[in-house]
Structure 1
Amino acid sequence: MIVVERGTAAGIYLDAAEYDGGLRRVAESFAADIELVTGTRPDIVTEPGELGSTAIVIGTAGRSRLIDEWIAAGKLDVSAIQGKRECYRIQRIEHPCDGVQQALVIAGSDKRGTIYGTYAVSEMMGVSPWVYFADVMPERRTLLDLPDRKLDVSSKEPSVKYRGFFLNDDWPSLGSWVTGAFGDFNEAFYEKIFELLLRLKGNYLWPAMWSAEFSVNGKSHPLANAELAKEYGIIMGTSHHEPLFRAGSEWQRVYKDYGTSNLWDFARNREAITAFWEDGIRRNKDFPNLITLGMRGESDSALEGSDQENIELLKEIILTQKELLKRYGLEQAPQVLAVYKEVEKYWYGTAEAEGLKDWEVLNDVTILLSDDNFGNLRKIPAGQEQHRSAGWGMYYHLDYHGGPHSYEWVNTTPLEKVWEQMSMAYDYGIRDVWIVNVGDLKPMELPVSYFLDLAYDFEAWGTAAMNRTKEYTERWVRQQFGHAADEAAVCGIAGILADYTRMNGRRKPEIIRPDTFSFEHYNEARRVLEQAGKLVEATERYNRLIPERLQDAYFQLVYFPAAASANVLQMQVYAGLSRLYAERGSVIANTYAGLTAEAIERDKQLEQTYNNGISGGKWRGMMSSAHVGYVNWDAAGWSYPQAAAVVPVKGPLMIVDVQGTGQGYTSGTAALPVFTNLQREAYTVTVSNGGDTGFAYEAAVSADWIRLDLPCGWIETGETITVSVDWDKVQGACSGEIVISGAEGAVTVRAEIDWIDLSGVPRGTFVETHHVISIEAEHTVNRISADGVEWKKISSYGKTLSSVKMYPETVAFSEPAQSPYLEYRVFVRRDGEYSLTAYVAPTNHLSPVSGLKYAAGFEGHNPVIADALPPGFEGGNHNNGPWCRAVMNNIHVTVTTHTLSKGVHTLRFYGLDAGLVLQKLVLSAGPLPYSYLGPEESYITSAELTEDSL
């Protein structure tokens, strides 16, 4: 169907009965979308007689007379959406009435359905939901012809009833931008927010808080924001600690209207607070809201009494609130109680105090559970609890301001984590409210889209559609850049988004330190440095392919978050390397000090470009959050890393690094990591001096199987020599020496080969080398299900490769003999005691009585039961050391011990508690040295693994 041709556009019809309000605004927005694509803006008419030969008819069944006439005449079929919530029908009709040859009809089952359908057509035209908030410009064309195959659509009902996000108003970024662009958090700002939310098929919003007051900040009059939300059909809420329509900051501003005390303490200031709440109800009662009940302490703090006292006080508070709602006819209005942080304890109760969960007063209240502020669910309903009539909700975080540290800069939550956690929430019956804290909103564009799409169409993206996050990301990139990038570029850009988020997910940028990644073990620091460098190269490569029209969008959505995140990691590792080489007395320290300084300057430049250089300065202030070197829970005291340098003095030749281990030698003998005939590694030796004049060196080997790659024989700062083995000349264990000498001395490097005989070792066996067997969880030789529960792989989820988890995920087992298990085949090279280290995703207790238990064992031995959650673990409590370590390191690490004989063994890993996500297993002949990611995967004999293990 041709919508625009040669400067002529089909008119848009909206019934006069629906013209005043949100649908008019959406129709105007839709007309602007058409103009953005074609340069031609269609007229909007309200009378059927004003229609031309081609028309676009927008309206709600039962509200639009023209749509109702065509339904009655059998020309428009809305049977698939009738009586449903938030559905739409898109249909092209030939000759629907006199004078109209064809009409594109967008009919909704209700107002939001009509709006969703209208914006669905905008997406067909190539207009991204992020057209305003990321400056994604659609392809320009003079002919807008929508294919008929796309114009026969009946949408489904959304999977989750209330779907939205929370603007956490975290200064300095969002607040600076809003006040600069709009003057305040007023209706001009919220018009943009509401439109974005509706384009993303959301319907629910927690507005900005702390410094903002939604029902007071209107520009034309105080309630303008609330009135605008009603027009658009947006259901408003308030955050978990802002009851009965009142913003958190309102109380201290107006408390004198209700009494003399400013105490936010119901026990001591009941009458004034009750009157304050009543005014909130009186003010907002006519607007659509999901009403927050309950109460927390001042500024989102805990209540002050004992558990028993606080539970009884909460009951009094809720009874008072419900009585107020009844007084104003709102007793049937939807209500929600947030079980957040310590309130969770009041819900479930303690040994000394009965909780609220069986209190009949709350039977008509949706219970909003929460994650631990770091994307890991805290509790989920079990058994019959899942079927409570008022349902359940989940408050999730992509951004957090609190302990053990805040993260408010760029996205640090991979989509795979969102999928795993929120799919579990849905499977446990949490289907009424999904709200996600997005902080400043930008640059969270991708995860916000994903979260809302998952909530809208769980069937397409949820549990039954495992491992589709890659597909989703490519689809999302195609929506933003597909008309300007070929399929290879789309996949490449999607890979950048996945890689930078995974990098941030393993350690948030704010708390990367110069020594986070080990310089001494597994060449770890240099490996992550190489990964960051490749990420930067990819962002630059695709940046050159993006046309000028989309450069601003690419910078916001891809280039900045990826390049800036990689730069922070590089900055910290460079600083660590400078310190390492300074300790060795090597002038190479100065090189890395210079690179650290360049990275710091790069960080400042990227922020400056975002705030002032793109989109004509549109985003001034939006990217202003401190994001490096946190020393407190918040940004107070943050600093860039301090590099180290040395004063060049003439000194002896030295080896300052051996294969990224941080080992340094000025004399004597250095040792390379042992070569094996299995992995056939090449190792590096960095040679340096402390001088400023440089000097020559030479190297000699004692064995003909040692091969050297000598880049040159003159040292200014440092040279890296690659040492490898000519394997055709080696048939067994042996050793040799490399003597590196210069005018100021010599150092000997010992090279040794550990020849491992694999005769009789079956395929698919992990082999012990360097006293370690490291196994990625997906690389099993067998997976055994039990009672319909089986282990499945979650691709790209975890700190290194992937993860495995039991599905259905709502089942737990009490004994290993009853549970599903994974099998791995290992070859150990000595008799003795081994440690098995399990790396498990940082899941919390999912119920007050559950843990995160598993069992591990070898043939002939009873499996050892362990719990990944240590005694006293309390998810979400920033005073709890084990939880703080888990979320900072993004892993649980648990060790069991096993006595083994030399040879081949079968390791079984049994899942016991629901929610367990295994990422890696490491079997070691002794304790593992420090590293952040653990050893790289070990050699495996020519693989014969399970079907999807590779």
Structure 2
Amino acid sequence: MKEGKAAPIYIDPKGEDYAGLRRAAGSFAADVHLVTGTQPDICSETCKLDGTAVIAGSIGSNELIDRLIAEGTLDVSGIQGKRECYRIQMVERPVAGVEQALVIAGSDKRGTIYGIYSISERIGVSPWVYWADVVPEKQPLLAISASLLNITSKEPSVKYRGIFLNDDWPSLGSWVTQAFGDFNEEFYDKVFELILRLKGNYLWPAMWSAEFSLNGTSSPLANARHAEEYGIIMGTSHHEPLFRAGSEWQKVYHQYGTSNLWDFARNREAITAFWEDGIKRNGSFHNLITLGMRGEADSALEGSDRENIELLKDIILTQKALLKKYHLEHEPQILAVYKEVEKYWYGTAGVEGLKDWDVLNDVIILLADDNFGNLRKIPAARGQRRGAGWGMYYHFDYHGGPFSYEWVNTIPLEKVWEQMSMAFDYGIRDVWIVNVGDLKPMELPVSYFLDLAYDFEAWGTNAANRTGEYTKRWVEQQFGHTLEPGTVEGIAQILSGYTRMNGRRKPEIVTPATFSLLHYHEAGRVLKQAAELEQAADTFYALIAEQHKDAYYQLVYYPAAASANVVKMNIFAGLNRLYAERGSVLANTYANLVKDAIGRDQHLQKVYNHGISGGKWQGMMSSAHVGYVHWDAEGWKYPEVSTLAPVDGPLMIVDVEGTEQGYVSGTASLPAFTNLLKETYDITISNGGETGFEYQAECSADWIRLEQTRGWIDTGTTIQAAVDWDKLGLGEAASGEITLSGAGTAVRVKVAVDWTSLQDVPPMTFIEAHQVVSIEAEHAMSRVSRSGVEWRIIGNYGRSLSSLKMFPDGVSFAQPEQAPYLEYRILVRQDGEYTLTAYIAPTNNLSPASGLKYAVSLDNGTPVAADALPVGYEGGNHDHEPWCRAVMDNIHTSVTSHELAKGLHTLRFYGLDAGLVLQKLVLSAAPLPYSYLGPEESFYTGHAGH
């Protein structure tokens, strides 16, 4: 564009792809108008072009582009014959009257459309321009670097890349019906455009109450026809075979017979005719055709394993015969190995499965995660190169057991990277489809998933620890032109922080008892993290330009602040219960904080649904997300609180940091609190009355220093005790007592400092304290590679610091002597039997015969082998308690026992099974008290941060 005039966009009206390119060009023209205030014309006659023009078309479907290629003016050698590629090139005098043209040539229709939208991105228009109200920077004149106008794109890494709109009520369905009336073509045009802007090509449509091929407004098939024009390859979900939506059958079964049974064994003729009509209706469009069959409403088939395998064979043969009848036998087909179908694929001890059935040789096999972002089974080495290929069905949202999660994002990008990179490395490269639920607010993970699938070379296995970089780039894409670099970094950390918080336990099942109120100061630490996250979201909201506040609220503020608020709400409720049980009026303070958090949750949701973007997103944020008591949202409720009627009560200590017991009243004494080299302790004192009273404190030893010795207690007061090292003396162990008195009572706290001499202790030695040595996996003294396999750090992955995983993927070891290992140095302070607890990411066994085995040795002794998965482990089975516990806690824990003598030891951890991801090790001389995250990392030598 120059001199206030936008260059027209030329599309060949005779091209087979004209309808789709016309749609893309229309949205591109709207992008230009959004940036410049000037709307380009879309032209279909070259004689009307002059000056500067944009020419867009596909090779073989645009006469002007084909002529430029034939003349040697336009070089398409890098894209010809490839899938979904584009070439962007400036061309001088391409046609009479045109001085220069920006040519966007695609190897096919989608390639051309990707090229068009790549220009949109280069002028500052986010793919989320409609779906998150992202406002681009205004520019009176478009200036694009010459290097960005001479580009040959790559071929996508994964062939079919798409999303599944699922679990679409109450949020997405409520919004769609008030905004569009139904799941019609007006709605789906927005979805198709988003997928193409994100360089995807595949869609499973909403299904629970919508029929994609019946819900069109202009005609029943309008949705399907628009998908065809846009170039979106349509599929149906894992339980909707041959183009028919799951909810269609019960509405139309009477057209095919008298029975409404969705049971092929008992209603074969009617169901076959139902499928045949689906082929007649949708067979002329580009589809990835779903085969197979599950039970009614996405349930399992009812027979025995043998009966179901034979029934599936009968079903698939019938479906393939129908496809052949209508000359569709060579169209791409897919079979989802989902939930119980996995057993039918592999077979059982007495029944041969489908995996070696030659009828499926031309069918893509769609494997699945366990519905919680952990892959289930992946191809064995000999099957990775099967001709028809493999796919993966992944989840950012799930409606099912052991519980549903359908609110905000709970899958950190680091987990997506680790699991989907493993999928790609195992040969799963034909289909990647992800359940995105309501689509919003999953904007960031949807972008990442599709970018990872499109350009695996840039973001996959060889790009470890680049999720943080990706997140910053994404923030810059949405808001970057108005932000300082430090603000971009801060917003990226908010996005990473809230998904990590939700990843360690999903908001729906955080309860007042989740985080320990008594041990390792866990609840206090988590509460501090949540408060800091909420404060950061507020800080950056104030820094965001006014025109970006709506987008910031959707993409960053709401999911972060609302998630943090749910955590705070539950911890406050736990403290309310604790102090109510202890008779402290602090319970009332926390009751009020719970009520405030409930009000804030309701307010944040109301702002999303009615306040932002002029009320555009009415109903979109309607999912229950607190206090689940069943697998679904039925019976959810906010935390309940207790209040105390104030009475005259004694002075009491309700919390002492660093102790397991936090309550003392009258003249009783607390047990000693001690912590190696810890300098300060907080002591919270309270009363049971409505009015406070004065207290005073004194110490029995001069090395105990108090922040204050006299004060006033209302509902609760914290004083700080510190060790005065100058008076204590280096290396000296000592004990003493703090006495607090007031209201006619006195309470005492015993204080002890217990030293361990660090003289001659080598660097990177973890020191036992309180009978525990806690180690973050990343802090190994050494990481030793073997057999071409090495341990690599995955930063920011897991429940605390990071993780370690063996690369390359797919290598297992029969014996520890062959395996790579991690080495740690520890100092224990007593002789005896110790338990080593390994905290391992909740990965599933990747083949029927594998587990998550590892081995541990001390001081070059015989390794002790263990498996993080119990015998009979069934990933994805919501009736299997070990798997349910693993996905709820987002961790596997496994223990080994070791006899140790007092002193220094070297611990080796060997990885034996592929897929194992180690996060933390805890060595303990006594049973560990309850905590969700386990003990904080122990002091270790040679580290400035400790």
Give the SS at the match of 1:593. Answer: helix
Deviation of 1:169 after TM superposition, in Å, equals 4.2
Contact 1:839 1:919 in 2 (8 A): yes
Partner of 1:75: 73
Distance 1:784 1:174 in 2: 50
What is aligned with 1:741? 741
Offset at 1:702?
Answer: 1.3
Q: Give secondary structure in 2 for the equivalent of 1:384.
A: helix
Q: Distance in 2 between matches of 1:109 and 1:353?
A: 47
Match for residue 325 of structure 1 among 313, 323, 337: 323
CA distance in 2, matches of 1:226, 1:878: 35
Q: For residues 126 and 336 of structure 2, what CA distance do their matches in structure 1 show? A: 33
- CA deviations over 1:800-819 (Å, ceiling 9, x no partner): 00000000111100000111
CA distance in 1, matches of 2:465, 2:57: 38
Q: Offset at 1:94?
A: 2.9
How many Å apart are 1:860 and its aligned residue?
A: 4.1
Residue number among 660, 672, 697 corresponding to 1:699 in the alignment: 697
- Residue in structure 1 matched with residue 648 of structure 2 by the alignment: 650
Q: How do residues 291-370 of structure 1 correspond to structure 2 at under 5 angstroms? A: 291-370=289-368
Deviation at 1:20, TM superposition (A): 4.0
Q: Please identify, of 238-247 and 720-729, the stretch whose mean Cα deviation from structure 2 is larger.
A: 720-729
Per-residue CA distance 1:28-84 (angstroms, 9 max, x = gap): 100000000011001111122211211111111111111112112222111111110
Asked if residue 788 in structure 1 is aligned to residue 785 in structure 2, the reply is no
**What pairs with 1:3-82 in structure 2 (closer than 5 Å)?**
3=1, 5-18=2-15, 20-82=18-80
**Partner residue in 2 for 1:184:** 182
Indicate which of 608, 620, 623 corresponds to 1:622.
620
Cα-to-partner distance string for 1:811-854 (whole Å, 9 max, x where unaligned)? 10000011110000111111111000000000011001001100
Shift of 1:716: 1.1
CA 1:662–1:65 in structure 2 vs 1: closer, same or farther (change >3 Å)? farther
Residue 929, structure 1, aligned to residue 929, structure 2: yes
CA RMSD of aligned residues (A): 1.2
Counterpart secondary structure, 1:885:
helix
Residue matched to 1:96: 94
1:669 is aligned to: 669
Contact 1:96–1:102 (Cα < 8 Å) also in 2: yes
Q: Which residue of 1 aligns with 2:540?
A: 542
Give the corresponding residue for 2:917: 917
Q: Is the contact made by 1:658 and 1:672 (CA closer than 8 Å) also made in structure 2?
A: no
Following superposition, the deviation at residue 711 of structure 1 comes to: 9.1
What per-residue deviation string (whole Å, max 9, x for no partner) do you get for residues 530-556 of structure 1?
Answer: 000000110000000111111100000
- How far apart are the structure 1 equivalents of 2:708 and 2:24? 68
Equivalences for 1:768-787 in 2 at 5 Å? 768-787=768-787
| Separation (CA, whole Å) in 1 of partners of 2:831 and 2:691 | 53
Aligned residues: 941
Retained in 2: the 8 A contact 1:651–1:744? no
TM-score normalised per structure 1: 0.98
Residue 17 of structure 1 aligns with an amino acid whose one-letter code is: K
Tell me the distance in 2 between the aligned counterparts of 1:783 and 1:431. Answer: 31
Point out 4+ residue stretches in structure 1 off by more than 4 angstroms.
Answer: none
**Is this contact kept in 2: 1:169–1:175, CA < 8 A?**
no
Q: Which moved more, 1:737-746 or 1:264-273?
A: 737-746
- Are 2:593 and 1:598 aligned? no
For residues 580 and 266 of structure 1, the distance between their equivalents in structure 2, rounded to whole angstroms, comes to: 56
1:524-923 alignment runs, 5 A limit: 524-659=522-657, 661=660, 663-667=662-666, 668-671=668-671, 673-677=673-677, 680-710=678-708, 713-731=711-729, 732-923=732-923
SS of 2:92 mapped into structure 1: strand
Does structure 1 conserve the Cα–Cα contact (< 8 Å) formed by 2:12 and 2:18? Answer: no
CA positional deviation for 1:881:
0.3
Structure 2: runs of 5+ lacking an equivalent? none
- Does structure 2 retain, via aligned residues, the 8 Å contact 1:395–1:436? yes
Residue aligning to 1:372? 370
Report Cα offsets for 1:561-580 as digits up to 9, x if no partner: 00000000000000000111
Residue 676 of structure 1 deviates from its aligned partner by 2.1
**Alignment-derived partner of residue 484 in structure 1:** 482
2:463 aligned counterpart, secondary structure: coil
- Runs (5+) with no aligned partner, structure 1: none
Higher alpha-carbon deviation: 190-199 or 43-52:
43-52
Is residue 200 of structure 1 aligned with residue 198 of structure 2?
A: yes
Q: Assess if the C-alpha contact under 8 Å between 1:169 and 1:211 holds in 2.
A: no
1:130 partner SS = coil
Q: 1:128-156 deviations in whole A, cap 9, x for unaligned?
A: 00000000010112111111121111000
Q: Indicate how the Cα distance of structure 1 residues 672 and 409 shifts in structure 2: closer, same or farther if over 3 A, else same.
A: farther
Tell me the TM-score normalized by structure 2.
Answer: 0.98
Larger displacement relative to structure 2 (887-896 or 50-59): 50-59
CA contact (8 A) 1:792 1:804 kept: yes
Give the distance between the partners of 1:188 and 1:676, measured in 2 at CA. 65
Deviates more, 1:701-710 or 1:117-126: 701-710
- Take 2:710 and 2:718, find their aligned partners in 1: how far apart are those partners? 9
Q: 1:155 to 1:860 in 2, by over 3 A?
A: closer
CA contact (8 A) 2:125 2:135 kept: yes
Instruction: Give the Cα–Cα distance (whole angstroms) in 2 for the partners of residues 910 and 239 of structure 1.
Output: 40
Q: Deviation digits for residues 756-783 of structure 1, max 9, x if unmatched? A: 1112211111111111110000111111
Specify the SS of the correspondent of 1:866.
Answer: strand
* Alignment of 1:143 onto 2:137: no
Q: What percent of counterpart residues are identical?
A: 69
Distance 1:50 1:464, change over 3 A: same
Question: What SS does structure 1 have at the residue aligned with 2:14?
Answer: helix
- Cα pair distance change 1:209/1:903, threshold 3 Å: same
Q: How far did 1:93 drift?
A: 2.1
Give the deviation of 1:672 after TM superposition: 5.1
Deviations 1:164-194 (A, max 9, x none): 0000042100000001100000000000000
1:191-590 matches, within 5 Å, as 191-590=189-588
**Do the aligned residues in 2 keep the contact of 1:93 with 1:104 (CA within 8 Å)?**
yes
Shift of 1:492: 0.4
Q: Distance in 1 between matches of 2:740 and 2:294?
A: 68
Q: Is the 8 A contact 1:580 1:662 kept in 2?
A: no
Deviations 1:375-410 (A, max 9, x none): 000000011110110000000000000000000000
SS of the residue 1:144 aligns to: coil
Aligned to 1:155: 153
Q: Which amino acid aligns with 1:134?
A: A
Give distance in 2, aligned partners of 1:438 and 1:56: 35
Residue 683 (structure 1) shift:
1.1
User: Is the alpha carbon distance of 1:89 and 1:662 closer, same or farther for their aligned partners in structure 2, counting shifts above 3 Å?
Assistant: farther
Q: How big is each residue's C-alpha offset from its partner over 1:591-641, in whole Å with a ceiling of 9 and x where there is no partner?
A: 000000000000000110000001111000000000000000000000000
Is the 2:515–2:931 contact (alpha carbons within 8 Å) kept by the matching residues of 1?
Answer: yes
C-alpha distance in structure 2 between counterparts of 1:583 and 1:632, whole Å: 27
What is the alpha-carbon distance in structure 1 between the residues aligned to residue 926 and residue 581 of structure 2? 29
Distance 2:9 2:218 in 1: 29
What amino acid maps onto 2:278 in structure 1?
G
Letter aligned with residue 893 of structure 1: T
Distance 1:675 1:512 in 2: 29
**Structure 1 residue 98 displacement after superposition:** 3.3
Give the Å deviation of 1:662: 5.7
1:942 is the counterpart of 2:942: yes
Matches of 1:709 and 1:530 in 2, distance apart?
22
